[in-house]
Amino acid sequence: MAFDLVQYFAEQIHIQKPELLNQYQSSERKAHLAEINTLSLAKLITLWRKDENKLYQEIQSQEQLYIIDVARHLTTSDQNHSTLKKAEFEHTITEVLSLQLAELKQLDDTGHYGIKGLRELITGQVEHLSGQAADWIWSTSELIELKGTKPILEEELSLEETMKEFNQMIHQSNVVEHHEQIAEVEKTAVPTWAKILEPVVAVAILWVLYSAATQMFA
């Protein structure tokens, strides 16, 4: 497995570019920079696949006009769904692209990768990028093989919400059980007055039967 440039670049952005998007809250800034870091690296992969010799030369030359052109293309893409303002996005991705190309050059210089070594390093990042971002990033960078790789996580219930639902369930169960008990009592209970009148009713029935029999045999 190739060295993880996604995490490495993220750490370098944090160290070297603390001014980027520092007007945002920490969590929001981190999310935006993660998107741009991922998008920039994904674009480098597709550029390498299209013409590795050209991109290798651009890594060596660090030509600013080339970086600006790539950044502008990503900024104006119809697939770009970043919530950043266009100017913020373009400035940030230009800075991140510059950093990534500079770091790749340094890795090449110190590690003597050459074009073959950088090919393995850069194209090997697909595995590290998989599942790391929303589909618009893969569409914008044209790394469309990664579309649909980000898992959709169900919203986790907090402990308080879980206990609330549990208590509601128990309460509903108790209410149902109470109603069932009342219904059973009403169904089976015999009123006291009914017990008192039982002999009277029996005598009345016998009298009716006796009168009917007397009339029949009279």
Report CA Rg, the chain. 39
Tell me which of 111 and 202 has the higher pLDDT: 111
The residue-averaged pLDDT of 31-51 equals 97
> Can you state the angle between helices 52-61 and 114-123, rounded to 10 degrees?
100
- What is the tens place of the pLDDT at every residue in 130-165? 988 999 999 999 999 999 888 765 444 455 665 665
Number of H helices, E strands in the chain: 10, 0
Compute the half-sphere exposure of residue 68: CA atoms within 13 Å on the CB side of its CA. Answer: 3
Q: Is 126 exposed, middle or buried (CB count within 10 Å of its CB: 0-12, 13-18, 19+)?
A: middle
Mean per-residue pLDDT, 31-57: 97
153 with 65: CB under 8 angstroms? Answer: no
C-alpha count within 13 angstroms, C-beta hemisphere, residue 169? 6
Residue 149's pLDDT is: 87
Using one digit for the tens of pLDDT, what is the confidence trace for 164-177?
Answer: 655 676 666 565 56
Mean pLDDT over residues 79-101, rounded?
A: 97
Any idea where the domains of the chain sit in the sequence? 5-146, 159-217
Helix/strand/coil for 96: helix
Give the model's pLDDT for residue 181.
67
In the predicted model, is pLDDT for residue 110 greater than 80?
yes
pLDDT digits (tens, 9 = 90+) for 115-135: 999 999 999 999 999 988 999
The DSSP code sequence of 26-91 is HHHHHHHHHHHHHHHHHHHHHHHHH-HHHHHHHHHH--HHHHHHHHHHHHH-TT---SS-HHHHHH
